[in-house]
Amino acid sequence: MRSVNFAFLGSQEIVKELGKKGTTSDLAIFDRKESDFIYTWTAPISYPDKIQSLLQALNMCEYVIIHVTKLDKFLGEQVIAINSLGIKSGIIFISYEVDEDKLKFLIKGTSLESFVLVNDIESLKRELHLIEPKTNSGPLLLPIDHAFEVKGVGTVALGIIKQGKLSVHDEFQLYPQNKKIVVKSIQMHDDSVLDSESPSRVGVALKGIHADEISRGDIIASPGYLMNTTDDDVKVTFEKNSYFNEEISETQTYYISIGLQIKPVKIKIGNNIEIIPEKSIVFHSDQKFVILKLDSSKNRIVGSGFFTKL
C-alpha cells in the first residue's frame, strides 16, 4: 500500500471532508484509504495556544495543506515555521475573503512560494489525487507520536516511517533509551501487514518495552544510526529568525523542536553558538531543528539550524 502524509493547518471542518478522525490528543489524526492508497492528515488542534503541536504536525508530514481564512500573526508564524523546516511541497487553500495578492506578497521568498494555490474544496480534492508519495531509503527512522498498551497485544507504538523499511520480527533500537526492541506485528489502516516502508503510517506492536516507557518523540531506528547531543563532536549551525526582534539571553530557557522531540535548552553565545540541552536529544546528521520561546507574545520562533557530527 502506498501512503502520503499531510500536516493540515486550519479548520477541522475542512479536514473532516477529507478523512475520518482517528487518534486524538493535542494532535488529531485523520485518514482515508482509497484502493491501495492511504492518505493521512495531522491537525495541530492545540495551536495557536501551543506552538509545540504545530511543529510536531509539520515534522510528521511530507506535504502541508494550509487553509488561509485571514492574514494575521498566526498565519505569519505558520509561514515562518514551514519555511524554517524547508518544506517546499504543499497546497494553500484560500478562502474567498482573503486578498490573494497580499497573501502572495506574504509568502514571497519563502518555501511556500512553490505551494499550489486553490480556492475551493473540490479543487483541493483534485490536487490531492495528483500527489505522489515521497519514499526515503536508508536505515530505519520511525519517530513515535503515540504509544499505549492493547490487551492481548502488548505495547503498540504509532508513527510515520520517515526513512527505510521494517518487517515483522526485525530488531531495532529505541532512542534515546538505547533499548533493543523487536517488531511483533505491523498494521496499516487496521490491516495487518508483514512489512512496511517509508512514508507509511503504521501501528507497531513491540516486544522489549512498555508503553509507559515511551514518550512522543522517541525513535525506533536501526542500531547505531542516531547521534546524541551529549557527544563532544557535534557541530551546531544556527540562524536567527529575522522576525524575532528580542535579544537572545543565555539565562533564558528556550525549547528545541527536532523531529517530534521538544525539549528545554539554553543558548550560549560566543564565537560559536552552542545549544545546551537540559535533556538528551537524538538526531541524524543535518536534521533541521527550530528553537522556540514559548512565552513570547509576538514571535515564538527564535531561529533554526541543524546538528552535524564532526
Q: What is the Cα–Cα distance from 100 to 251, expressed in whole angstroms? A: 42
* CATH architecture observed for domain 227-309: Beta Barrel (2.40)
Residue 281 confidence (pLDDT): 93
- Reference 68, options 98, 43, 47; nearest CA is 98
* Residue 242, C-alpha cell as written in the block: 529575522
Q: What is the Cα–Cα distance from 248 to 268, expressed in whole angstroms? A: 9
Structure confidence by residue, pLDDT tens digits, 247-287? 999 999 999 999 999 999 999 988 788 899 988 899 998 88
Low-confidence ranges of the chain (pLDDT < 70): 232
Domain with CATH 3.40.50.300 in the chain: 2-128
DSSP one-letter string for 93-106: EE-TTS-HHHHHHH
* Cβ contact 155:204 at 8 Å: no
Distance of CA 136 to the CA centre of its chain: 15
Domain with CATH 2.40.30.10 in the chain: 141-221, 227-309
Q: What is the Cα–Cα distance from 63 to 48, expressed in whole angstroms? A: 20
Q: What is the Cα–Cα distance from 223 to 165, expressed in whole angstroms? A: 14
* CATH architecture observed for domain 2-128: 3-Layer(aba) Sandwich (3.40)
Q: How far is CA 220 from CA 28, 174, 183, 289, 299, in A?
A: 22, 5, 10, 19, 33
- Reference 248, options 286, 287, 288, 305; nearest CA is 305
- Reference 14, options 91, 113, 104, 101; nearest CA is 91
185 residue type, one letter: S
34 residue type, one letter: E
Residue 212 confidence (pLDDT): 96
The class (CATH top level) of 141-221 is mainly beta
